[in-house]
Structure 1
Amino acid sequence: MSLGGVSEVPWHHDIVALATRHGKEHQISPALAAVGLVTRVVAVDTDRFGTFSGEIQRPGPPDQVVLTKARAGLEIAGLPRGVASEGTLGPHPDLPMLTCDRELVGFVDLELGFTLIEEALGFETTVASRRAQPGDDLEGFLRQIDFGPQGVIVRRADHQFDPIVKGIVTIEALHSAIKEVANCSADGYAVVETDLRAHLCPTRQRVIREAADRLAERLGRRCPSCACPGFGIVAYDIGLECASYGAPTGLERATIEGCVRCDLRKEVAAASLADPSTCPMCNP
């Protein structure tokens, strides 16, 4: 790859290792193809970096883990580039009554010497559970979560992890798992909950694709100084002035664009002043 070239894409069918065991190539590969990267799925046990079902805790914050996954993939494949994704579900930081799906897609390039993470947020993913005994009518619950496309897990109701049955997408398999797990639980109940792994959670798939598209868009921009791919927003300058009184608001006064490799930073000012409705002085 030549950074000084005039090609429309930064890479030319270069291979990037994709660390996944849950089918994320369907969301990530098409996006990276737009910038000339061909993904190679690598057999990495990504469960060792944490599971949604809780039996293995994530070893660090999501932005650290997603890059660790990407590095694990490229090391196994013997390639200079790696990509991976990491998702978290929990309360939105500004709207805690809403469950937020935050998906990160991380990229590591050892050849060019940079890392990059892009993210997307979604609000459609259902995190739901229901206690059940063998023979219980679960039709309403299953309809609510779109069972089939959305898989489920059956676990013990007494918070033990053995046994736990994952990847259930048929009624027959569900009833069999409830019977198996309830028989091992101290109170005779099992818990049926949404399986949030990417290959069994269509709503997460859509958010991962959005994050991958953002990563590809960012990788398609070169630094004006060193021509490295990945130029884009690195920070926000908050304090856009009110159009009426000039007081600072909580809106962005400017975005700071920068390079992932060199020190170049460029400020892009907001196109207009803030509406007075957003001003703490106008609306105390």
Structure 2
Amino acid sequence: MEYWKDRKIFFVTAHQKEEIVRDLFEHELQMKVESCKVDTDRYGTFSGDVEREGSQEEVLVRKAKEAAEKFGKEHIYLSSEGAFYPSPRIPFVNENTEMLFLYDPLRNVEIKAVYVTLNVKFLQEDIQLSIPEQALKKFGFPQEGIILKGFTESNQCVIVRKNFESIAQLEEEFQMERVVHPQLKWRLESDMRAHKNSVRRMAILNCAEHLIQKMKSLCPQCSHTGFSVTKNEYGLPCSWCGTPTDLLKKEIFSCSKCGYSNEINFPRGIEYADPGNCYHCNP
């Protein structure tokens, strides 16, 4: 696609995320992706030692725009922000929302993509005198990252240790911390940073696929990139009683440059919802 061909993207990351999407951007858009080395941990960490200031989307945008101020507005920037939380739909299951933001200051292009998945690798294991071999196998360590946390009796996390590369290093750190802090309780947790978690890397790659589809989509009015869904309308009627349901009824595409919009009715190809999705017919 000529709009993007041979241009370079700088991924604002400290965790090797550029390696996740590099081949995809090269294949789909003939774009090069390089790392824009930034201490992104200052925006917040999954381990909780640095709290995120602002919403996921606010931090996502801030990363890219602050990088542009620092490194120059002649470049294209890509930022990423993930969030993990209990699923609001399925009890006792964790959910991951990944967001990507493409920022091209010179052309005034801002494109966001969101990917939500229930495929989350987040494990926890309380430990006492030593680290069980079975726990390490469950975590997939050292191929997958592990974080060591120390808690007070009131369950306040006061120690966070990470970046372990070997079982020996992890065990040595744990035994040392036990001696220095005998009053604490200890727990192992999955490291959710992209370079330490293969499942999260796959989620970021899937999100990048959504982003690229938006980058390829041009406005039929002005040919500006990023013509995509900006609003969803729900309320697909029940096929039995006509009551609006929570299912998607309409997608609204719009252009961020000229304001042109287009409505697509019944984007999933169905005009009526199954009665099983109706609160009236299936309360």
Say whether the fold is shared (TM-score over 0.5): yes
* Distance in 1 of aligned mates of 2:16 and 2:275: 47
**In the alignment, which of 13, 19, 23 is matched to residue 26 of structure 1?**
19
CA root-mean-square deviation: 1.9
Identity %: 26
Q: Is the 8 A contact 2:127 2:187 kept in 1?
A: yes
**Residue of structure 1 in register with 2:231 after alignment:** 235
Q: 1:186-229: CA deviations, max 9, x gaps?
A: 41543222111110001100000000111011111111112111
Q: 1:33-87: CA deviations, max 9, x gaps?
A: 3224322211111011001111110011011111111123333332332101111
Letter in 1 for 2:56: P
* TM-score, normalising length: structure 2: 0.90
**Residue of structure 2 in register with 1:128 after alignment:** 123
**Residue of structure 1 in register with 2:87 after alignment:** 92
**In the alignment, which of 56, 60, 63 is matched to residue 54 of structure 2?**
60
- Per the TM alignment, residue 20 of structure 1 is displaced from its structure 2 partner at its CA by 0.6
Higher relative contact order (CA 8 A, sep 6+): 1
Matched, 1:278 2:277: yes
* Distance in 2 of aligned mates of 1:73 and 1:124: 31
**Residue of structure 2 in register with 1:105 after alignment:** 100
- Per the TM alignment, residue 281 of structure 1 is displaced from its structure 2 partner at its CA by 2.6
**Residue of structure 2 in register with 1:119 after alignment:** 114
Matched, 1:12 2:5: yes
Q: 1:77 to 1:216 in 2, by over 3 A?
A: same
Q: Which moved more, 1:74-83 or 1:259-268?
A: 74-83
Letter in 1 for 2:115: A
* Distance in 2 of aligned mates of 1:126 and 1:160: 21
- Per the TM alignment, residue 160 of structure 1 is displaced from its structure 2 partner at its CA by 5.2
**Residue of structure 1 in register with 2:252 after alignment:** 256
Q: Is the 8 A contact 1:130 1:193 kept in 2?
A: yes
Describe how 1:220-231 pairs up with structure 2 within 5 A: 220-231=216-227
Q: Is the 8 A contact 1:255 1:267 kept in 2?
A: yes
Q: 1:213-261: CA deviations, max 9, x gaps?
A: 1101111111111211111111111111222332221111111111233
Q: 1:241 to 1:189 in 2, by over 3 A?
A: closer
- Per the TM alignment, residue 27 of structure 1 is displaced from its structure 2 partner at its CA by 1.7
Aligned residues: 275
Q: Which moved more, 1:265-274 or 1:140-149?
A: 140-149
Letter in 2 for 1:130: E
Q: Is the 8 A contact 1:157 1:185 kept in 2?
A: no
Q: Is the 8 A contact 1:116 1:260 kept in 2?
A: no
* Distance in 2 of aligned mates of 1:279 and 1:131: 43
**Residue of structure 2 in register with 1:37 after alignment:** 31
Stretches (4+) displaced over 6 A: none
* Distance in 1 of aligned mates of 2:182 and 2:125: 17
Q: Is the 8 A contact 2:139 2:146 kept in 1?
A: no
